[in-house]
Amino acid sequence: MAFGILQIQKIKSWGNLVSSSSHTSRDRETPNANPDVKNIRPIGNSDDPTLETLVRQKIGNQKIRSNAVLAVEMLLGASPDYFRPDNPESGGRYDLERLERWKLASVNWLKSEYGDLVVRAELHLDEITPHIHAYLVPLDEQGKLNCRALFGNRYKLSSLQDSYAAALSPIGIERGIKGSHATYTKIKEYYWHVNQEAPELDCFRSLPEPRSTESAIGYKQRVEQLLQPSVDVIDRQLSDRTLALKQKRDAEQKALASERERQKLEQRLKELEAQNRLLKAQTEQLHDLSLLDVAYELGLDCAESDIAKASIWHGHGYQFNITDSQFYDLTGSKRGNSAMDLVMQVNQCGLKQAQAWLADRFGCEGMLRAVTHYAREQAQQIIAVEPTRSFVPPESVESEWTAVQNYLIRERHLPKNLVNALHQRGLVYADGSGNAVFVMRELQGQVTGAIVWGTEGQRLAPGSKRSAGWFWMGLGGSEDSSIQRVALASSPIVALELLAAEYPSGSNTIYMAVDSDRTLPIDFLSTVPQVVLVDNNNPDNRQLVREIQKLLPQATRIKSKTIRTVHKRNSRELNLNQLG
Average pLDDT over residues 402-413: 92
* pLDDT tens by residue, 131-189: 999 999 999 988 999 998 888 777 788 788 888 988 998 988 877 655 554 444 444 44
Peptide bond into 504 cis (omega under 30): yes
pTM more than 0.85: no
Lowest mean per-residue pLDDT among 170-174, 188-192, 293-297, 494-498: 188-192
Res. 347: pLDDT tops 70: yes
Give yes or no for a contact between 431 and 394, defined as CB atoms under 8 angstroms apart.
Answer: yes
The yes-or-no verdict on residue 362 having pLDDT over 80 is: yes
Q: What is the pLDDT of residue 182?
A: 44
Is the predicted pLDDT of residue 575 greater than 70, yes or no? no
pLDDT at 520 over 70: yes
What are the pLDDT digits (tens) for 443-466? 988 999 999 999 888 999 999 998
Q: Residue 236 above 80 pLDDT?
A: no
Beta bridge partners of 94: none
CA 111 to the chain's CA centroid = 28
Cα 138 from Cα 150, distance rounded (Å): 7
Whole-angstrom Cα distance, residue 4 to residue 259?
A: 14
pLDDT in tens, 384-399: 888 777 888 999 999 9
pLDDT at residue 176, rounded to an integer:
64
pLDDT for residue 48 = 87
Listed residue (41, 64, 61) closest to 51, CA to CA = 41
What pLDDT does residue 88 have?
A: 73
Residue 122 backbone dihedrals phi, psi, to 5 degrees: -115, 125
The distance in angstroms from the start CA to the end CA of the chain is 65
pLDDT of 562 reads 57
Domains and CATH numbers, the chain: 4-176 (3.30.930.30), 291-385 (no CATH), 398-578 (no CATH)
Residues 6+ apart with CB under 8 A from 107: 42, 43, 121, 132
Q: What is the pLDDT of residue 407?
A: 93
Helix spans in 287-350 (H): 291-297, 339-347
Rounded to the nearest 5°, which phi and psi values hold at 553?
-60, -25
| Per-residue 3-state assignment (H helix, E strand, C coil) for 143-158 | CCECHHHHHCCHHHHH
Pick the more confident residue, 491 or 206: 491
**Of the candidates 463, 467, 484, 466, the residue with the CA atom closest to the CA atom of residue 475:** 484
